Amino acid sequence: MSSREETLTFADLGLQPALVAAVTALGYEEPTPVQREAIPLLIEGRDLLGQAETGTGKTAAFALPMLHRLTELKGTGRGTRGLVLVPTRELAMQVAEAIHKYAKGLGLAVLPLYGGAPMHLQIRALERGAPIVVATPGRALDHLRRKTLDLDSLRMLVLDEADEMLDMGFADDLDAILSGIPEERQTALFSATMPSRIQAIAERHLKSPARVTIAREKPAAGKIPRVRQVAYIVHRAYKPATLARILDMEDPAATLVFCRTRLEVESLVETFHAHGYRAEALHGGMVQRQRDHVLGLFRAKKADLLIATDVAARGLDIEHLSHVVNYDVPASTEAYVHRIGRTGRAGRGGTAITLAEPREQRLLRVIEQFTRAKIEIATVPTVADLRAKRLDLTRASLRERLLAGDTDHVRVIAESLAEEFDIVAIATAAIAMVHASTGTEQDEREIPIASNKPTGAMRDRKPARAAKSESAPSRDLHGGDVPGEPRVRLFVGAGRQAGIRPGDLVGAITGEAAVPSRVLGAIEIADKFSLVDVPASLAEKIIAALRQTTIRGKRVTVRHDRDE
C-alpha cells in the first residue's frame, strides 16, 4: 500500500464539502478500504458489485456517494430517489440512522420501512415525501403494491447484505421489486459472500458493474485482548442447569445469551424466571413494539438476561453488557467473533462463555485457530463451589452492613440471645439461615461431568437423544439426518393451536414434495408456528409444494426461518 493510500482523506475521494464536514464531525479520520475503493466509483455513477463483511464501513461506502449524487441530481415531487434494501428491521434502523447523520444540512429526509411498525404511520411519512428510503424487501414490496411507495424517480438503488436477504427467503420479493423500478438507475450490490445466486442477480440487474472485493481480515493474535473466553463441555440435557450455575458464580452485570431457535429462547426464559433471574426474550416472532419494549428494559437495567436468536440480536449495542453466552457453539467462526465482540468494548473487560457438547469440541479448536486466541476449557462448578461462592457473598454483605452501622433496630435480639448463647454461635446460626434462604433444591444436584477428550467414535456417531428433564427445552422431534448435507430450517405458519402434529408435517412433505421422511430432521411445534429441519438442496422444492397444498385443511405460510 502506498503512502498516498495510507493518508487518503474523505476530501480526496471527491465528496462534497458538506459531507466531508459531516463525517469529520462524527469522528471519522480516514476512509476504510471499502470506502476508498467504492466511493469514487459510485460518485462517477458506475454500478458496483462489492464483497465486504459487516464492520468494514460499507454503510458509509454507499451512503455518502448516494447523498452526494442525489444532491447533484435534483429531483421533483415527493417520490423516492434513493432506496436501500436490507435484510432485517434492526439493520434498516441502523442504516437509516447513519444516513440521517451523514445528511445533516443537506435537506434530504431518510425514512426506514420495516415490518412490525404501524403501516398508517409509514404511509403518512411517505405522503410527506421521503427522498431516501431504507427498507426490508417484504415491507418495500407491500408499499409498492399499495402504491404508497413511489419509485418512478428512483436514481440509486443499494442492495445491502444481499446474501443474507436470499438466505432469509427474500429472493422472490427482490425479483418483484427489481423488475418494477426504472431501468435508468444506478445500482450497488454489497454481499459478504458471492455465491452463484448473487452473481445471477448482478448479471440481470447491474450494468457493467465495477467490482470491489475487500478480503476478510483474520483477527490478529490478541485482537480481543479484554474478552475472557471460556467453554464448558456439557451434555445438552444439562445445559440450562449448567448455565444457571455458571451465571450464579460469575454474577454478571448484564448477559446476552445466543440460542439457535426461538423455541429454545422461550424455554430458557421460563427456566431463568424460575431461577429468580429477570430474563427477557428476543426473537424473530416478536412484533416491533415487543422488541422495543424488551430492549428498553435491558438498556434500563431492569432485566438481567437477554436471551436471543442471532438474527433478532443483529445491530444491538448494549453499553453495560459484561457477558455473552453461546448456548450452542456458533455455526461459523465469523458468527463467534461477531457475537463475543459485543462485550469488552470501549476498553472494558468482558467474558464470552460457550456451552459445548462433547462432539462439538473440534469446532472450538477451529475457532481457536481462526482467532488465534485461547479458549479456556473450564469445569462446570460443583455444588460445593456454589456454596462457597454464596458464603463469600454473604460475608461481603455482612461486612458492608457492619460498616454502614444501620443495625440498631435488631440489636436487642442479639443482646437477648447473648445471655443464653455464645455470640459466635449466634452469628453462625444467622449466617446459616441467610445462606439457606438463597439456595434451591435444584442447586443441590451435581451436574454430570462430560468428557472433554472425545474419542473418534464420539465425534462420528450421532449423539443419543437427551432424556427429558425439568430444565431441558421441550421439543417435538422426528428423527433423521443426512450426514454432511447442509441443513436449513423452514417456518410453517401453523402450530399446536391449529392442531398440527409432527406427523401432519411429515405427511404433507413426503406426500406433496415426494421427499422421503428419512431425510427430515428436527420438527419443532410451537403454539402458532412450526419449524422443520430439511436438507438445503430440497428446501425450495418443499416450500413450493407446501404452498400449493393445505395442512389440516388450511393453507399456511411456508418460508425459510428468519431466525436461522
Q: What is the pLDDT of residue 439?
A: 53
Looking at residues 309-313, what average pLDDT do you find?
73
Q: What is the pLDDT of residue 77?
A: 62
Q: What is the pLDDT of residue 325?
A: 94
Residues 6+ apart with CB under 8 A from 116: 89, 286, 287, 288, 289, 291
Q: Identify which has the larger pLDDT, 401 or 523.
A: 523
Report pLDDT digits (tens) over 213-268.
Answer: 986 555 444 445 468 899 999 988 888 889 988 988 888 888 999 988 778 888 88
Q: What is the pLDDT of residue 299?
A: 85
CATH class of 475-560: alpha beta
The alpha-carbon radius of gyration of the chain (Å, integer) is 27
Q: What is the pLDDT of residue 460?
A: 34
Buried b (16+ CB within 10 A) or exposed e, 213-225: ebeeeeeeeeebe
- Any idea what DSSP says for residue 94? H
Looking at residues 210-214, what average pLDDT do you find?
91
Kind and range of the H or E element at 41?
A: helix 33-43
CA distances from 469 to 238, 241, 258, 271, 450 (A): 8, 10, 21, 12, 17
3-state secondary structure (DSSP) of residue 72: helix
Q: What is the pLDDT of residue 471?
A: 31
Please list the residue range(s) of the chain that carry CATH number 3.30.70.330.
475-560
**Contact at 8 Å (CB) between 130 and 78?**
yes
Q: Identify which has the larger pLDDT, 94 or 402.
A: 94
Q: What is the pLDDT of residue 141?
A: 93
Report pLDDT digits (tens) over 63-86.
Answer: 999 999 998 876 556 789 999 999
Q: Round to whole Å and give the CA distance between 83 and 287.
A: 24
pLDDT(482) > 50: no
Q: pTM of this prediction? A: 0.48
Q: Identify which has the larger pLDDT, 420 or 479.
A: 420
Q: Round to whole Å and give the CA distance between 24 and 94.
A: 19
Looking at residues 317-327, what average pLDDT do you find?
84
Q: What is the pLDDT of residue 458?
A: 34
C-alpha cell at 341: 465482540
**Contact at 8 Å (CB) between 227 and 343?**
yes
Residues 142/143/145/150 CA torsion (nearest 10 deg):
-150
Q: Round to whole Å and give the CA distance between 441 and 120.
A: 52
Whole-number average pLDDT of the chain = 80
Q: Which residue is associated with the grid cell 388450511? A: 554
Q: For 203-267, give the DSSP string.
A: HHH-SS-EEEE-PPPPPPTTSSTTEEEEEEE--GGGHHHHHHHHHHHH--S-EEEEESSHHHHHH
C-alpha cell at 17: 464539502
Q: What is the pLDDT of residue 221?
A: 44
Looking at residues 472-486, what average pLDDT do you find?
41
Q: Round to whole Å and give the CA distance between 25 and 27.
A: 5
Report pLDDT digits (tens) over 327-356.
Answer: 988 867 777 887 887 776 655 678 999 999
Assign 485 a pLDDT band (cuts: 50, 70, 90): low
* 305-309, strands of its sheet edge to edge: 279-282, 305-309, 255-259, 323-326, 350-356, 227-233, 376-378
pLDDT(7) > 70: no
Report pLDDT digits (tens) over 348-407.
Answer: 678 999 999 887 887 888 888 888 888 999 888 887 777 777 777 777 777 777 777 777
CATH number of 227-382: 3.40.50.300
- Reading phi first (left if > 0) and then psi (alpha if -120 to 50, else beta), residue 279 is in beta
Q: For 530-553, give the DSSP string.
A: EEEEEEGGGHHHHHHHHHTS-BTT
Please list the residue range(s) of the chain that carry CATH number 3.40.50.300.
3-213, 227-382
Q: What is the pLDDT of residue 329?
A: 87
Q: What is the pLDDT of residue 436?
A: 63
Q: Round to whole Å and give the CA distance between 146 and 438.
A: 58
In this structure, whether the domain defined by 3-213 belongs to CATH 3.40.50.300 is answered with yes
User: Shortest CA distance to 533 belongs to which of 500, 495, 506, 499?
Assistant: 506
User: Shortest CA distance to 498 belongs to which of 435, 553, 434?
Assistant: 553
- Most confidently modeled range among 7-11, 264-268, 271-275: 264-268
3-state secondary structure (DSSP) of residue 281: strand
C-alpha cell at 156: 440509486
Q: Is the dihedral of CA 291, 249, 346, 6 positive or negative?
A: negative
- Any idea what DSSP says for residue 375? -
